[in-house]
Structure 1
Amino acid sequence: MKRLLFLFQYIGKPRTVGSILPSSRFLGDKMMEGIDFKKAKYIIEYGPGTGVFTKKLLEKRSPETIILLVEQNKEFYSLLKEKFKDERNLFIVYGSAENIIEHVREYGVPYIDYVISGLPFASLPKSVSTKILLESSKILKKDGEFITFQYTMYKKKFIKQFFTKIDVKRELRNVPPAYVFSCSMSQNSREESYGV
């Protein structure tokens, strides 16, 4: 059922739904590898889709950790609301990651430890990608990370404009195989860029 929903959404909205299938559990594990769940207090997920990564975040997080999901596909949003309706400290926003600063203010979130992104930057308009990455780099705490996956290395150079360091891992057990980018920014770079 979830695979069919994903396929239909991809056919109807290929620019915002980046794949014909949900991410594999192997890719989910790779996305979680670098997260320090004992210390993380605030985690955001962009484009959770059917909730493959969300499920893993909920399994691994501390009960007090707040997770904010941002989904702009109405069908996926409705599915997530029903699927995770009994979860504490989980908030689901129907909206765009472009407005992430507004969303975190609305929920009283002071900073973000990790951003987990399932957004297809290769197919999003450049102006949208730029705003999302810029706003995300602003809300991350000094040792925070922006973790995303892409199906090619095409957007690595573009993403590196917003972060000083990108570690790349590959996950072959996904359809299609994917690259996981773990992006961070040194405190010096943050202060020079944004005057924090």
Structure 2
Amino acid sequence: MEGVTFLKQYILNWRTVGAIFPSSKKLACKMVDNIDFENAKCIIEYGPGTGVFTEELIRRKYSSTKLFIIEYNYEFYNMLKEKYSKVENLYIINDSAENIEEYLKKEGIENVDYIVSGLPFASLKKEMSENILNKSKDILKVHGKFITFQYTLFKRNFINRFFNNINIDKVMINMPPAYVFICEN
């Protein structure tokens, strides 16, 4: 069912959905493996889609850790609300990642430890991508990490303009295979 919804949303909103299928469990694990859950006070997830990464974040996070998930697509947002509305310290937001600061301010949060992003920077408008990456850099704590994935290395130099230290891993067990970018300042 989620796969059908994902495909439909891709067809209707290809620029912001960016994939035909949900990410694999293997990619989800790789995306969160670099998070120190024991010390993380606040984590953000951009573009959770149907919640593949969200599931892994919820499974591993401490109950006191605040997790903000911000989904632009209304169909996915509704799915996420239905699945996760009872999770402690989880904030499910229907908006653009460009506006994450507003939601953090409402909760009195200035900086976050990690940002996990499923956003398709290859298809998002350049101005939107720049806004999101600038705000991400600004809200991350010192030694915080911005973790994203892309299907090609095409946007590496673009992302490198915002984060000067990027390590890349490749995940073959995904459709299509993906590159995980672990970014730090």
Q: Give me the TM-score of the superposition, normalised by structure 1.
A: 0.93
Alignment of 1:150 onto 2:135: no
Please show how residues 22-61 of structure 1 align to structure 2 within 5 Å: 22-61=22-61
Paired position in structure 2 for 1:76: 76
Please show how residues 1-196 of structure 1 align to structure 2 within 5 Å: 1-185=1-185
Amino acid corresponding to residue 64 of structure 2 in structure 1: E
Paired position in structure 2 for 1:192: none
1:95-150 CA distance string (max 9 Å, x none)? 00011212211232231100000000000010000000000000000010000000
Provide the rounded CA distance (Å) in 1 between the counterparts of 2:173 and 2:103: 33
Provide the rounded CA distance (Å) in 2 between the counterparts of 1:55 and 1:29: 10
1:2-61 CA distance string (max 9 Å, x none)? 000000000000000011100000000110111100000100000000000001001101
Provide the rounded CA distance (Å) in 2 between the counterparts of 1:129 and 1:115: 14
How many residues matched?
185
Deviation at 1:175, TM superposition (A): 0.1
3-state SS, counterpart of residue 16 of structure 2:
coil
Structure 1: 4+ residue segments shifted above 4 A: none
Amino acid corresponding to residue 136 of structure 1 in structure 2: S
Structure number with bigger Rg? 1
Deviation at 1:161, TM superposition (A): 0.4
* RMSD over equivalenced CA pairs, Å: 0.6
Amino acid corresponding to residue 125 of structure 1 in structure 2: K
3-state SS, counterpart of residue 137 of structure 2:
helix
3-state SS, counterpart of residue 169 of structure 1:
strand
Identity %: 51
Provide the rounded CA distance (Å) in 2 between the counterparts of 1:107 and 1:48: 21
Provide the rounded CA distance (Å) in 1 between the counterparts of 2:56 and 2:10: 23
Provide the rounded CA distance (Å) in 2 between the counterparts of 1:179 and 1:97: 21
Provide the rounded CA distance (Å) in 2 between the counterparts of 1:62 and 1:32: 14
Q: Give me the TM-score of the superposition, normalised by structure 2.
A: 0.99
User: Where in structure 2 are there 5+ consecutive unaligned residues?
Assistant: none
Deviation at 1:164, TM superposition (A): 1.1
